[in-house]
Chains A and B, each alone.
Chain A
Amino acid sequence: MNTQAATRKPLLATALKDATLAALVAFGLFGLLIGLRTGLGPNAALVLTTRFEELAIVVAVVFAGSLLRSLLFGRGPLMAGRFKPLLESRAARIIRRLAVPALFALAICWPLLTYHNRYLLDLGILVLTYVMLGWGLNIVVGLAGLLDLGYVAFYAVGAYSYALLAQNFELSFWICLPVAGILAAFWGVLLGFPVLRLRGDYLAIVTLAFGEIIRLVLTNWQSFTGGPNGIGNIPRPSFFGLPFNEEEDGFAAFFGLEFSSIHRIVFLFYVILALALITNWVTLRLRRLPVGRAWEAMREDEIACRALGINTTNTKLTAFAMGAMFAGIAGSFFATRQGFISPESFTFNESALVLAIVVLGGMGSQVGIAIAALAMLGGFELFRGLDQYRMLVFGAAMVVIMLWRPRGLVSTREPSLHLPKPEPSKGAA
């Protein structure tokens, strides 16, 4: 009790100090942004109006928020101390064990739950696409530790591969899917070569540039890619040869169902679910193989890896290739779902979003990434009603999450190797 009382007083003082400082920073930042406003006066002259009330409200909110955070959680990360017992309680452990099966069951049942709600079904497909992209990027960023800001380039390569192959050679989706993956992997290796010696920030900048180059080529190579107009009328996938249409030989007729356009959407949902699960399965398997272990070891210490006999060149290239391949496959799925693609779908924003999902999920955790994708894209939709404040709320939410769990939602790393059986310690006896 004594120590409690002793620590409380300086806590309040430091909290007040921190909050005042934060308020001052807010005042400096928003003083001009919010406090002053220029507008057109009666004679088309520039008039300065003041909005000091709004400014005061914003500064007060910042002050109160900072004070609240300091008083409730102290200065460190929010998770420290206070929430630990809660996280390690029995209930929490049960929830954690049930999280994966529950998410899986939800994913399987989603089309049944949302059969009559096209919007939610489409949202499910979107979330799963990003889950797959997140898992793919996780190989590069989370496991191999190579910061890639141009991941969307491979997504674009996959999408355009499918669109062009399907339109020019009339190849079916199921043939194009692996081809798109292979092409994207090839581009992954192509990017990998020049950046072999780079790490950290330098690597990030080059990959960022690579993403932009691909987008600019797609925009400007009009004769090949259709330029900014994109490619339309991309063939839809068929159910193993049965097209989703009202004809006699269509999916609905074959199974004796009444035709509904939702059949195709449900099918697409299960396709992306299967693709995402394959990504997950492959990643989990690779982690247990020498190449996956080498990725993780390389993330930890590249020099030590080389001294242990690991060819880091090959290791990096395989990481880039694997990550790119899954992006390519996701890209061709995207193309067939949309039926139309243009360079606008492959901007840096997409790379940033996927990277945010990986970081938020906890760099390397499969479950964390799935939850992060759900939260990010679900959040986007949830806050849609807030109109122009959407991004504001969204940004604030991300700041809170990073304060709450600075290393991502699931920051513990699952070891890839266990002893076959826990040996009773013979040596100790």
Chain B
Amino acid sequence: MTEPLLAIRGVKAFYGNIMALKGVDLDVNDGEIVTLIGANGAGKSTLMMTVFGNPRAREGSITFQGGDITNVPTHEIAHLRIAQAPEGRRIFPRMTVLENLQMGATVSEPGHFEADMKRVCTLFPVLGERLHQRGGTLSGGEQQMLAISRALMSRPRLLLLDEPSLGIAPMLAKQIFRAIRELNERDKLTVFLVEQNAFHALKLAHRGYVIVNGLITLSGSGRELLESPEVRAAYLEGGRH
């Protein structure tokens, strides 16, 4: 067995005195799409942010490519080629799409910029048409595409996506999920996907984890989880999506 790309071991994280993560173990192997599903407030986004050290894990360890990153400053984590499209997208609203992408390329080689930009514009053609539009004027779905593209500009080894389907039209959500699959299959990009939309996420992912109240309660392949009665009852509620 080779070592996982990202290994989270016994991580506990706090917001003030409230324990948001109560000892989480999670692996993301190279080339995988791993999804983490759970209800609101279960700790999904917290876990993703903990990888970036905000909040910092108070106990446990996070290793990336075999190196301990538990206490690495947030801005240096990006230099290790981990990128994220954070919760709430957090694009730069007054800057143009092009400038947003340029900010995403902060840790990347300047020579790569044009090729990388062309690549994300092929992935999401609508961005190519809006390069000079201000980020804040894009629709929610387009902003999400921009957030993912901005993350891709750093040529990441691991991409963290926090609820890319949240609050956007189902058509666009589908397009985004398709893009994630394409990135994974064609570019061998490893993706760690946090989602509330369990059905789509599990269909897309190789493996999945279920988090409840800061603890991992279930894990398995995407198909296993889709068929497990607990997941069906709690997150799919009999419906197909």
A13 at the B interface (CB under 8 A): no
- B95 touching A304, Cβ below 8 Å: no
Residues of A within 8 A of B128 (CB): 425, 427
- B132 touching A418, Cβ below 8 Å: yes
Q: How far is the CB of B179 from chain A (nearest CB, A)?
A: 15
B84 at the A interface (CB under 8 A): yes
Residues of B within 8 A of A297 (CB): 92, 95, 103
- B99 touching A304, Cβ below 8 Å: no
Interface residues as binary, B103-114 with A (CB distance below 8 Å gives 1, 0 otherwise): 110110000000
- B99 touching A293, Cβ below 8 Å: yes
- Per the bound structure, the CA–CA distance linking A268 and B52 in Å amounts to 53
B240 at the A interface (CB under 8 A): no
- A304 touching B75, Cβ below 8 Å: no
- A308 touching B94, Cβ below 8 Å: no
- A309 touching B95, Cβ below 8 Å: no
**Number of chain A interface residues as a range:** 20 to 34
CB-contact partner of A309 in B102, B106, B134, under 8 A = B106
* Count of interface residues, chain B, beta-carbon cutoff 8 Å: 36
A293-B103 contact, Cβ under 8 Å, with A304-B90, A306-B54, A417-B96: yes
Q: How far is the CB of A398 from chain B (nearest CB, A)?
A: 24
A311 at the B interface (CB under 8 A): yes
Q: How far is the CB of B39 from chain A (nearest CB, A)?
A: 24
- Per the bound structure, the CA–CA distance linking A304 and B104 in Å amounts to 10
- Per the bound structure, the CA–CA distance linking A416 and B99 in Å amounts to 8
- B99 touching A417, Cβ below 8 Å: yes
Residues of B within 8 A of A296 (CB): 92, 94-95, 99
Residues of A within 8 A of B107 (CB): 308-309
A308-B154 contact, Cβ under 8 Å, with A297-B103, A415-B132, A427-B125: yes
- Per the bound structure, the CA–CA distance linking A416 and B102 in Å amounts to 11
- A306 touching B75, Cβ below 8 Å: yes
Q: How far is the CB of B79 from chain A (nearest CB, A)?
A: 5
Residues of A within 8 A of B94 (CB): 296, 299-300, 413
Q: Which residue of A lies closest to B80 (CB)?
A: A309
A304-B154 contact, Cβ under 8 Å, with A309-B107, A415-B98: no
- B98 touching A307, Cβ below 8 Å: no
A303 at the B interface (CB under 8 A): yes
- B90 touching A301, Cβ below 8 Å: yes
- Per the bound structure, the CA–CA distance linking A306 and B98 in Å amounts to 19
- B95 touching A415, Cβ below 8 Å: yes
- A307 touching B96, Cβ below 8 Å: no
A245 at the B interface (CB under 8 A): no
A312 at the B interface (CB under 8 A): yes
Extra contacts, 16 of them, besides A306-B75, A309-B78, A427-B128 (Cβ < 8 A), are A293-B99, A297-B95, A300-B95, A305-B103, A308-B83, A308-B107, A309-B75, A309-B76, A413-B94, A415-B95, A415-B96, A417-B102, A425-B128, A425-B129, A427-B121, A428-B125
What are 10 A-B residue pairs whose CB atoms fall within 8 Å in the complex? A294-B106, A303-B54, A304-B92, A307-B78, A308-B83, A308-B107, A417-B96, A417-B98, A418-B132, A419-B98
